[in-house]
Amino acid sequence: MKPYAIATGIAMLCTTFLTAADELPELDRRPKPGVYALTNTCNWVTKEGKRINLFETPVDGVTNYVTWRMVQPEENAVRYPGLDRMLKEAVDSDKNLSYGILAGIHTPEWVYEKAGIPRVIFDTARNQGGYLPWIERNGKRELNTPFLKIWNETVAKFADRLLSDPNRNRINYVPMTGFPFGNGLELYIPLSKKDFGALNYDAEAKKLYVEFCCRVIDIHLEHLSDFPLGIAYTDWFGSTAEGNRRDLSESAQILEYAITKAKEKNATVVPMGLWLGWKGICDNPNHPLMRLYLKSAKAAGFGAWEGQMGSCRLKCLPIAEQLELARQNGVSWVQFWHHDCICPECVKVLEQYRKEREK
């Protein structure tokens, strides 16, 4: 083959790639307001043996959580369960999708082996464990950078997958995940007093916890800043009535860091309170969580709420009142667990809410 023919072929190939990239829809980094059905089923909810497509319920889209074990059961085996189908369902219904990977207690075993770090059982009541924000070397604690390095690689692959998708403009937001304890989504430490005490959570530990969470934020801002990034927090530092209720100083520090860094990168971080629905909190502007929400949402320019799983059967505020409070507080989006989005009583409320909003 002649040199000019080779050069022509390379030029045509490059043009093909450039054209494909140019055809991808633009991203404005702004959340898409509305009410979303939250699920961990990859939109495969069944009722009385029949599948219910959540995109067909009276919501503006679906938020779906998958676990890291599902996404990457082995280091070189990466998949994103339900993502292609749900994005197609979002397009077909003219709605939106949010998709996040839960780490924490859902971290696959190969991660601990590769990082050379222990899997710590920090919740003895439920025999649950995971990584800590610190590791110990020669009797001293230091930041758990081996874990962060691997998580950075996983988030980078996830970002490449989302950014290359022709329907990427259907993504409402990506949850920031990878925080220590729980499922890696929320800024909190849900342990009993006994288990929390075993952590020896002193001033040094607190500093390492905050630093670790800030590094998780850095990872998401590096790879996923083209999408709105949600950062969830709550105040329940304990899984039972004997848990540890503490102040919100760590969450406040971390939220401030996330919002400041996002502005430097022209990115969007959305503080998301995981407590919508409980009487005495979202209807009380003087509650510590509401004060933090109002402050952080004002600084960020956006804010979101998530309802309690099973709001319609628990002693939460009525769904209609929750939605009205969200409207009054300028919430960008509200996400209710799918149990509530298919509950007949709640469906009627959501239908009425959409009709009034469209007037």
Q: Which of 289, 269, 286 is closest to 277 using CA atoms? A: 289
DSSP state of 243: B
CB 194 within 8 A of CB 124: yes
pLDDT in tens, the chain (359 residues): 444 444 444 444 444 433 344 589 999 999 999 999 999 999 999 999 999 999 999 999 999 999 999 999 999 999 999 999 999 999 999 999 999 999 999 999 999 999 999 999 988 888 889 999 999 999 999 999 999 999 999 999 999 999 999 999 999 999 999 999 889 999 988 887 888 889 999 999 999 999 999 999 999 999 999 999 999 998 655 445 455 556 788 999 999 999 999 999 999 999 999 876 888 888 999 988 899 999 999 999 999 999 888 887 888 889 999 999 999 999 999 999 999 999 999 999 999 999 988 87
pLDDT score of 243: 54
Pairing of strands 96-102, 269-276: unpaired
In three-state secondary structure terms, 67 is strand
**Of residues 286, 284, 283, 326, the one with CA closest to residue 304:** 326
Q: Are 261 and 217 in contact (CB under 8 A)?
A: yes
Maximal C-alpha separation, the chain: 78
Q: From the CA atom positions of the chain, what is the Rg in Å?
A: 21
Round to whole Å and give the CA distance between 131 and 236: 20
Q: Cα–chain-centroid distance for residue 174?
A: 6
Any residues with CB less than 8 A from the CB of 210 and at least 6 apart, and which? Answer: 250, 253, 254
E strands present in the chain: 34-39, 45-47, 50-52, 61-67, 96-102, 120-123, 128-130, 134-137, 140-143, 174-175, 186-187, 229-233, 269-276, 304-307, 333-337
Q: How far is residue 197's CA from residue 248's CA, in Å, rounded to a whole number?
A: 18
Contact 250, 210 (CB under 8 A): yes
Q: Which residue shows structure tokens 């082995």?
A: 74
3-state secondary structure of 330: coil
**Nearest by Cα to 340 from 305, 317, 313:** 313
C-alpha 136/C-alpha 153 separation (Å) is 23
How crowded is residue 227: how many other Cβ atoms within 10 Å of its Cβ?
25
- Helix ranges (H only) for 191-343 are 193-198, 203-223, 249-264, 288-300, 319-328, 338-341
Q: Are 343 and 309 in contact (CB under 8 A)?
A: no
Q: What is the pLDDT of residue 236?
A: 57
- Cβ contact 258:303 at 8 Å: no
CB count within 10 Å of CB 10 equals 10
**Whole-structure pTM value:** 0.91
The enclosing H or E element of 23 equals helix 3-23
| Structural domains of the chain ordered from first start | 30-357 (3.20.20.80)
**Residues of the chain by 3-state class (helix, strand, coil), percent to 5:** 45, 20, 35
